[in-house]
A and B are shown apart, each in its own frame.
Chain A
Amino acid sequence: MGTTAMERPLARGTTKARRRRVVGLGTLVAVLVIAAAVSLAVGARALSPAEVWHGLFAAPDSDQRLTEIRLIVRTVRMPRTVLAIVAGIALGVGGALIQGYTRNPIADTGLLGVNSGASFTVVSVIAVFGFADPFQYVWFAFLGAAVAGVVVFGLASIGRGAGNPLTLALAGQGITVFLAAMTTAVALSDQASLNALRFWNAGSVAGVGFDVIWPVALFIAVGLVLALTTLPALNLLNLGDDVARGLGVNIALSRTIGIAAITLLAGAATAACGPIAFLGLMVAHVARYLTGPDYRWLVPYAGLLGAVVLLLCDIVGRLVVRPGELDAGVVVALLGAPFFAALVWLGKFRSA
């Protein structure tokens, strides 16, 4: 870890490497745009590019068929495309950040307890209030995610050695374990909760409207801004606390901002989509392989990769088990895992 991080200034000096990274970033954006267009066109009813264009931009008119297309594009395909992009970026950036802040290459966005906190509040409010509609529990999910994140960070910050990456990772794991147990306990004693839990657990970008997506996107935007501000400090933190302190980094402050960013990103994405495991971990490693250890490049790459992967997985999920659908979260693991394992086997990754 130390040696690779030390090589960074050298790598930055070469304009060639820099150009390669910029080109890579541009390529990712292009792929994302194409994937988004495909996402709008593909589904139970396939649409031509012209029809998508019409559905997006044409004014309403009397033609029955065109009105129908407008409806499909604007109220079904558009929301899930936007959500896949927004949540994918959030989980990718969150995954890269959590691996950086815990200095642990197997840390995932769920580690701070946000996934288990969200799951626990979801089953609890269903058991207590009998909510049946997903729209009702999105905000409880976000609340649970945020509270769990704050509790984990608070516990890891008590006393000497505050914010120590190892303590943070283990405290996150301890709270996750506990909340998962509580979730199971509630679900096993209340059938409605159990029923909701299994759908919630699959992780999906479908079925949520813009009334939910915009507020979620706002939280994610705040998280992204916080994340971007901590990147230079995160680079220095990965040289070790003492070096970072010597170079003038306010360690406690940058850790707090970083953890807040992760909680916002992962919490908001999880609230809207359910727990999408593995995505953040996977794209963080792929991004590190593509860019090297400089978090100012790694994090944007991870975000874009997250969006591309989640979008593509959602598209695949719509196509494979027609007329039904596979949830995007399930597809991420089923397709992403073998791909990732192959890269691991080929020796593409080194520990963070």
Chain B
Amino acid sequence: MSGTDVKPSVAPGVRLGQVSFVWRPWLACVTLLLAAATFLVFCLSIGVGDFPIGLSRVIATILGGGERVDEFVIMDLRMPRALAGLIVGIALGVSGALTQSIARNPLASPDILGITGGAGAVSVFLVTVSGGTAAAVESAVGLSAAALAGGLGTGLLVYFLAWRRGVDGFRLILIGISVSAMMEAITTWLLVTADIKDVARAQAWLVGSLDNRSWSEVRVALWCTLVLLAVVFCVAFQFKPMHLGDEVAAGLGVRYAMVRAVLLLCAVLLAAVGVSAAGPVPFVALVAPQVAMRLARCPTPPMVASGMVGALLLIGADLVARTALPITLPVGVVTAAIGGPFLVYLLVRANLR
């Protein structure tokens, strides 16, 4: 490939038995680099803290050959947080890539499918309406679980409302926008009527955070993500006609409708996993696929690279939030502050070339 050419010449196809895919060397390269960068930042993030641990010792410990002290600090204290960032980033990135591909709209994201809106409304309801005592009873675990249920419920509601002899991408996002708008209006109203102390807590929750993750929470999110990614991986090979438009795809058979429905459901569930582990972090799912697309010079959001960008964004933002900033901010603020401008930078650079 020429390197500056945005539209590559026809990429060679590869066929392995039943499975065929397009071989894009640049995409593979970028994905590998992103994976390496993610791993590096992941290790860096683990090493940084009150008890700093060098990068080599971190890697040694993760690979199973570290010292006892390091192992305790890393595995028991820091790993859950870093893993949560990794999982949430990948889940949101892939979820966004799926949503944008299916809707064929770069502005679409799981935020639009109602998950973040629903989770936000439920969590704000719990924080503000049930008041101080009940909120204290609601331990952090209870709140996340309730928010997850709210997000998932809203996501599925959108999905089923949009179902009418199949799921049409355009109908889905318009209904998703409507339901999300309702959820956000409820949130806004709850915030208006609430006590100001609760508002601060609710606001911090709405932005998403990786604080105080425990292994038990992370383990659930990890397994869910792995299963969902496996499903996406198996089904995604039948996914390509999606970009050709509804008519072409419909002409290719009924099975296509099933594939799209399954992938959409995966997108909803992946976003829900993200919410369960970090709260309703906004924007990552929107920005990551667009950034990945431009880095990889693909015409459509690439799945793996989108997940990697999401993870890199989230872990990197968490690192910045913990180390570089004078005040502690929820990670969602930093991801948006980094991700938004980076997307704009990529756009401008593409235009200048």
Contact = CB atoms under 8 A, between A and B. Distances in A.
Are A and B co-members of a single complex?
yes
Interface of A: 104-107, 111, 155-156, 158-162, 164, 166-167, 169-171, 173-178, 180-182, 184-185, 187-189, 191, 194-195, 198-199, 201-202, 277-278, 281, 285, 326-327, 329-334, 336-338, 340-341, 344-345, 347, 349-351
A276 to B, nearest CB: 10
Given A106-B108, A173-B107, A329 B287 contact: no
B290 A170 contact: yes
A194 B353 CA distance: 42
B286 to A, nearest CB: 7
A111 B106 CA distance: 13
B341 interface: yes
A158 B350 CA distance: 10
Contacts of A105: 105, 170, 174
Contacts of A174: 287, 340-344, 347
A171 B344 contact: yes
24 contacts: A105-B105, A159-B352, A161-B350, A170-B106, A171-B348, A173-B286, A174-B340, A174-B347, A177-B340, A188-B203, A188-B333, A195-B196, A198-B199, A202-B192, A278-B177, A278-B178, A326-B189, A336-B178, A337-B181, A338-B178, A341-B179, A344-B178, A345-B161, A345-B175
A176 B207 CA distance: 15
B342 to A, nearest CB: 8
A189 B179 CA distance: 30
Contacts of A189: 327
Contacts of A281: 177
Interface in B87-116: 105-108, 112
Interface in B165-188: 170-171, 173-175, 177-179, 181-182, 184-186, 188
Nearest to B197: A191
A177 B336 contact: yes
Which 7 A-B residue pairings sit nearest by Cβ, starting from the closest?
A: A177-B340, A333-B185, A181-B336, A178-B340, A159-B351, A174-B344, A337-B178
A321 to B, nearest CB: 9
A127 to B, nearest CB: 13
B204 interface: yes
B164 interface: yes
Interface string B316-353: 00000000000101101111110111111001101111
B170 A330 contact: no
B250 interface: no
A166 to B, nearest CB: 7
Contacts of B283: 177, 180-181
A155 B347 contact: yes
A162 B351 CA distance: 7
Contacts of B340: 173-178, 181
B316 to A, nearest CB: 14
Contacts of A285: 174
A275 to B, nearest CB: 10
A236 B333 CA distance: 40
Task: Name which of B175, B335, B344, B348 has the most chain A CB atoms within 10 A of its CB.
Answer: B344
A103 B118 CA distance: 28
A199 B330 CA distance: 22
Given A173-B343, A341-B175, A344-B175, A158 B203 contact: no
A107 B182 CA distance: 17
Contacts of B189: 202, 326-327, 330
B171 A181 contact: no
A340 B176 CA distance: 11
B351 A158 contact: yes
A350 B168 CA distance: 11
Nearest to B190: A198
B340 to A, nearest CB: 3
